[in-house]
Structure 1
Amino acid sequence: MPVKFEIYRNGARLTAFEPVAAMAIGPESVPVPGEILFRDGLLIVNRKDDHAVGIALLWDVGPLGSFILETTRLQPREKPYVLNVELARFRLMKIVQKQEDWNLFDFPKFEKFLQKLHEGQMLFAETLGKLHDPAVAAGLADRALEMAIDLSEQLATFHTDLLLNRRKQTNGFVKHVFGCRIDPQVNNERYREMVATQFDYAVVPMSWKEVQPQEQSFNPAPVDEWVEFLSKRRVPTIAGPLVRLDSQNVPDWMVIWEHDFDMLREMAYDYVQKMVTRYRKAVAVWNVVAGIQSNTAFSLSFEQIIELTRLLVSQVKTLLPGARTLVTITHPFGEYHARGRGGAPAGVPPMLYAEMLANAGIAFEAFGLEIELGVPTTGNFNRDLFQMSCALDKFATLGKPVFITAIGVPGRHNADPGDVTGGRLNPDQAGRWHRPWDPQLQAEWMDAVYQMALSKPFVEAIAWNNLTDVKPSLPGGGLLDDMLQPKAAFTKLQQLREKFRPPPVQVPTAHGAPAQPATPPTPPPLPRK
């Protein structure tokens, strides 16, 4: 039996509704396969079993924004649920859970939030008393949900301030916090100078598809130039991800090995060996694999995903025993897991993959994490600040630091013909955070999300996903415009760098006067082959 919902807007039941980014939700808010359709005035979730299931979808919360929101898990029954009511129920429940997880009760300033929560709960109680009149109940639930969304973002900010102050007092920040992912194909002097002088480190992608476009062709020249430049300028480098199994990064010639895991493993092993050997003296951190758990280009089993991760990390460690390595999680909300073929789940839920890696004895040093929001593709619809804080919290128990190796949102609310998709993605169709995206809102989002992320003691560094609006991965997603002029987000990033810059370490001389630390030696030139 399916789970069914009625939907109300402005006191009237909807007879036509297009569910956007809708997916079935299982335990622990993990998306699961399921058929979502609107038929005969009902939103229906069809599953092959009769287990309790929720639904998540893009939902408009008025002035606060439009986000992917979810319901609690519900038992199938003949009578339809009211979607408005169940969305409010879940958010209020999540607030209660997180205020306990965050241990907020001991802070006097928390009283005002408790009062707001009480008001929301009383309004929801009134909602439950009106379920015999679904239209009235839905109107009350909409008000309760709006209060809950507003309160949850305020709580996320309050918790951020508490942890940031604590981390500052203990000097809990590393030296290199703020980075940027560069485009190796860009060869522009101003672009390079901005990277060298305005960031703590650089992320240099090493796309397998671009470096090895043909099986017997190896073309690392653009990467060579960037790695050598950064090495000469003593800019720390995160290299990779080396292997990302998606259509944008897997070489076209690999398609013939789509169902041959042994050959995929051999080819990936050979590629990683070449790259690590070539840049072994110039790279600070190796991002070995990214998004392998989402299974977008190859149909790998759970065991094969873990085996391939273990093999490639071990290979880097064999070549460079002292290297720092990352394994990167993409799409941390796991939407891809609900998009499998024939009703089967796709890939592995992100946190299950992370937990398995953390407990499997694989010798990597940290998790990487990619968060790109604001475009209408699976995994990239808008989320609010509270949801993002909750998602990061899941890494707290895994015992490893987190590097956010790519993060970003659009800087415009309409399609960008100059982005990597050629203008196929319209941010206006992916929801909004308070208001439609523009350069100023992009900077405000950066400020809120960077501080929230850095309040987590396990988050070590953050890199923005696009330096410029020259072929960005998100519409208007760069820190600089297409003429390489600073945007509001670039200015905000420099303010954050100044705010979180660790105090200089003073080394006393023999006479007691502080001396500047010694200048580090110039890294050796890039090895040539």
Structure 2
Amino acid sequence: MGLIRFKVHDSQPISQEKAERAYMSGHDRVPWPSETYWTGEMVVMKRPVEDSGNFYIPWYVEGFGELILGTATLRQREAPYNLHVELARGKINQVRNQTYDWQSIGLHVPDRLTERIKSAVTLFSKAATNQHDPEVCVEAADQALVIALEATELLASCFADQALAARHRQDQQLGTLLGANFGDHLVDDFTARQFRNSFNSVIIPFNWRQIESQEGQYDWAIPDKQVEWGETNGLTIWGGPLVFLSESGLPDWLLQWKDDFSTLMTFVSDYIETTVARFRDRINLWECAAKTNVSQALGLNEEQRLRLTVRAIETVRRVDPNAEYLITVDQPWAEYMKNNEWELSPIHFADALARAELGLSGVNLQINVGYLPGGSPQRDLLELSRLLDLWGFLGLPLYISLTFPTSDAEDPNAYGKDKPIPNGMHEGWSPISQRAWVEKVIPLILAKRNVYGIFWNQLSDGQPHEYPHGGLFNSEGRPKPALATLATMRKYHLK
């Protein structure tokens, strides 16, 4: 049994809830099963192994809000670590190493970035050599962490700007898809015009729960009109997920078959075949399945969820062989794995499908930032860059689906279990913070050559939706500032 402890100064608002979200991982970045608790003075982690690893925890940073931050590699030892020092060490090491890596491929680093890194190192040295004086140590470590995160944002911005400039030298306008999920309802003319002016593609969800609410009775009224609208406006059309493994994506009548997997697979195949046949040669990309890497809906085990995904891909491929076929992976940082014994991490789940020679055309990563329990807590830009690079090893095109909340107040139209993390942003969740996040994140994603599409996961807060306040239109139908930012980026960068 491994035991590792971290001292935390009372200036950091740690709680039992935050401690329970902490995890440790090895070089593969897959969280180990563990138990973490808060004693009032220390964070204590129990784990079944004694291996060295990186410790990650939600941590409030002035000017940035709550981020998942990680240490450098730590070995097990009897004495507790100072968590302020170790988080500063981890972020400084990461930003320095990433700077050197990108410089080696031609990145020009401005002097102000070099100065930021030097300042962070100086403050870290002061913290590391004054651990006998907690006040001096913690103050210096916290300042070093803030400066290191400022350097992180500057480095990521430099990379995005220079990488995008290099891409534009080859192609004046990039072929990357930019779109949003139309949802399960028809939109009004104003929303449709705003959508058309902002995006080059659209997701039509084909929600099984809505289309076949009664077994064998199909209602195509909404998807028929949505697909026709997408075609009329010359948009690339993404269809699905055909199997959305959640309560909001499965018809109630299907639950009676949850203990009969063979029959369940038959119903899945029938629905997919019926839907794909109706819209064959009209959909550019079929999203075959979503949440199958993590959802425990219908009580399916991991092997059954994998088999269900394979059946979905095979059925789509057989009925519409000219389209492209994707699967969606939820929570790609795999935070959920610390609490359960899972055989396959998200990337291993996708890798198993890629190796099965099913004709898989790409993988969509669903990153619903700032939501718990089923979303992805906020991380800094280098962590996002590392994630995209890691998934690039699959050798498949990546698509990224995003959500970011604009409030943590109650949302009467939200039916999902996920809620925005309280106090997750230093200035609060707001339309302005959503726009600022989009301004930082989208250029970085566009700079990655392995990313073929970026989609906003939820269009409007005015219709029933899964993620509270996560849309690009507010509950009154007015566009949020992030939509104009996305429209500008599309005009400047994309076809």
Q: Is 1:431 matched up with 2:418?
A: no
Rate the CA distance shift 1:242–1:101 in 2: closer, same or farther, 3 A. Answer: farther
In structure 2, the partner of 1:456 is: 448
Q: Alpha carbon RMSD of aligned pairs, Å?
A: 2.8
**1:63 aligned counterpart, secondary structure:** coil
Other-structure match for 1:468: 460
TM-score (norm 2): 0.90
Alpha-carbon displacement from aligned partner over 1:321-340 (angstroms, at most 9, x marks no partner): 21111121221211122232
Secondary structure of the residue that 1:287 maps to in structure 2? strand
Aligned to 1:417: 411
Paired residue secondary structure (2:297): coil
- Measured in 2, the distance between the counterparts of 1:443 and 1:104 equals 32
Partner of 2:394: 398
| CA deviation string 1:215-240 (max 9, x = no partner) | 34433332223223333444331000
Match among 335, 359, 362 for residue 363 of structure 1: 359
The size of the alignment, in residue pairs, is 492
- 1:90/1:356 CA distance change after superposition, 3 Å: farther
Rate the CA distance shift 1:96–1:256 in 2: closer, same or farther, 3 A.
farther
Distance 1:255 1:97, change over 3 A: farther
Please tell me whether the aligned partners of residues 174 and 493 of structure 2 are also in contact (alpha carbons under 8 angstroms): no
Q: Contact 1:31–1:335 (CA<8 Å) still a contact in 2?
A: yes
Match of 2:372 in 1: 376
Give % identity: 27
Amino acid at match of 1:183: G
Q: Which stretches in structure 2 are left out of the alignment for 5+ residues?
A: none
Residue 441 of structure 1 aligns to a residue whose secondary structure is helix
- Aligned partners of 1:114, 1:311: CA distance in 2, in Å? 52
**Kept in 2: contact 1:68–1:382 (CA 8 A):** yes
Equivalent residue number for residue 513 of structure 1: none
Q: 1:77 to 1:499 in 2, by over 3 A?
A: same
Distance 1:254 1:75, change over 3 A: farther
Pair 1:399–1:248, CA change in 2 (3 A): same
Which blocks of at least 5 consecutive residues in structure 1 are unaligned?
503-529
Shift of 1:298: 4.8
| TM-superposed deviation, 1:59 | 0.9
Counterpart for residue 202 of structure 1:
202
Residue in 2 aligned with 1:22? 21
Letter in 2 for 1:411: T
Q: Which residue of 1 aligns with 2:403?
A: 408
Bigger CA drift: 160-169 or 146-155?
Answer: 146-155
- Mark the CA change 1:50 to 1:264 in structure 2 (over 3 Å): closer, same or farther: farther
Larger radius of gyration between Structure 1 and Structure 2: 1
User: Which residue matches 1:58?
Assistant: 58
After TM superposition, give the deviation of residue 261 of structure 1 in Å: 3.7
Offset at residue 297 of structure 1 (A): 1.6
1:211 corresponds to 2:207? no
Deviations 1:386-420 (A, max 9, x none): 2222211212232222222x3121223x3142341
2:467 aligned with 1:480, yes or no?
Answer: no
Preserved contact between residue 375 and residue 429 of structure 1 (Cα < 8 Å):
no
Q: 1:71 offset after TM fit, Å? A: 2.7
Deviation at 1:164, TM superposition (A): 0.5
Matched-pair contact (CA < 8 Å) for 2:22–2:58: no
SS at match of 1:109: coil
CA change 1:305–1:99 in 2 (3 A) is: farther
* Structure 2 letter corresponding to 1:19: K
Give CA-to-partner distance per residue, 1:444-494, whole Å, 9 cap, x none.
211221111101111122222232221344333332233333331122122
Relative to 1, partners in 2 of residues 1:151 and 1:228: Cα closer, same or farther, differing over 3 Å? same
Shift of 1:196: 4.2
Q: After superposition, where does 1:109-128 map in structure 2 within 5 Å?
A: 109-128=109-128
CA contact (8 A) 1:196 1:233 kept: yes
Structure 1 residues 420 and 21: alpha-carbon distance in aligned structure 2, compared to 1, 3 A threshold: farther
Distance change >3 Å, CA 219–CA 464, structure 1 → 2:
same
1:221 corresponds in structure 2 to 221
What SS does the corresponding residue of 1:295 show, helix, strand or coil? coil
Alignment CA distance shift 1:273-1:416 (3 Å): same
Question: Partner residue of 2:335?
Answer: 335
Moved more, 30-39 or 69-78: 69-78
TM-score (norm 1): 0.84
Tell me, what secondary structure is at the counterpart of 1:190?
Answer: helix
Distance, in Å, in 2 between the alignment partners of 1:453 and 1:284 is 22
Whether the aligned pair in 2 keeps the contact of 1:196 and 1:230 (CA below 8 Å) is: no
